[in-house]
Chain A
Amino acid sequence: GAVVSQHPSWVICKSGTSVKIECRSLDFQATTMFWYRQFPKQSLMLMATSNEGSKATYEQGVEKDKFLINHASLTLSTLTVTSAHPEDSSFYICSAISRLAGDYEQYFGPGTRLTVT
């Protein structure tokens, strides 16, 4: 149980283009999903919190117009990196919290490696 998938697992794009990453909870309904980015040998940095049916809450320093987050259903959230630049190259990971009462654990997807050339 509590499986989260991400697609694609890796993507290479040219500078100036946009890339969409999908995060799905496969066997549970996720009221809340989180998006993180991770640089090599560093820990996870929270980018935004996504609640189904409402606007995402972005962490300080994260450009909401550049990193568009949509949480259209209880099983799907998407992160779109708009006008990507090489400095956006990173490992993006999503996580989801189950709707079950008292369940606070975040279950993570396998991550998406983005390379912007």
Chain B
Amino acid sequence: EDQVTQSPEALRLQEGESSSLNCSYTVSGLRGLFWYRQDPGKGPEFLFTLYSAGEEKEKERLKATLTKKESFLHITAPKPEDSATYLCAVGESGGYQKVTFGTGTKLQVIP
């Protein structure tokens, strides 16, 4: 059974203070690892898909990296508007498209 563990559960940063969120996963064959951002009372917003170890993707202040066991979401010089819950999900290879979500990291960026 696929497992996804995110850490820390919550993170409080000062504006401009860079940090990383972790997503550890166990899957028999990785189809893709997905990062989403979720604001309170809203549906998740797609950020990145990573397919293989060593892959990196960037979007504004966010950079996602992938190894065979974990993924990191690096946040560089965060702003208050980056405050949200960041969710990680993995999809297993084999043609079935469902994914397994982690419990998320709630990020708060203080001005």
- Residues of chain A whose beta carbon lies under 8 Å from any beta carbon of chain B: 2, 4, 6, 32, 34, 42-44, 46, 49, 91, 93, 95, 97, 104-111, 113
Contacts and interface: CB of A to CB of B under 8 A. Distances in A.
Interface of B: 31-32, 34, 36, 41-46, 49, 87, 91, 97-99, 101-104
B97 A43 contact: no
Given A97-B97, A105-B46, 7 more contacts: A4-B43, A95-B43, A104-B32, A106-B46, A106-B99, A108-B45, A108-B46
Contacts of A43: 87, 101-104
Contacts of B49: 104-105
B42 to A, nearest CB: 6
Contacts of A4: 43
Nearest to A107: B46
Contacts of A6: 43
A111 B44 CA distance: 9
Contacts of B41: 91, 111, 113
Given A111-B41, A111-B43, A106 B101 contact: no
A111 B42 contact: yes
Contacts, number: 47
Majority DSSP secondary structure for residues of A touching B: strand
A32 B99 CA distance: 13
Task: Specify which of B32, B36, B87 lies most central, judged by the most chain A CB atoms within 10 Å of its CB.
Answer: B36
A108 B97 contact: no
A104 B102 CA distance: 18
A97 B101 CA distance: 16
10 nearest CB pairs, A to B: A108-B43, A43-B103, A108-B44, A111-B43, A43-B101, A44-B101, A110-B43, A93-B43, A109-B43, A104-B32
A90 B86 CA distance: 20
Nearest to B43: A108
B53 to A, nearest CB: 17
A49 B98 contact: yes
Contacts of A42: 103
A106 B34 contact: yes
Contacts of B98: 34, 46, 49
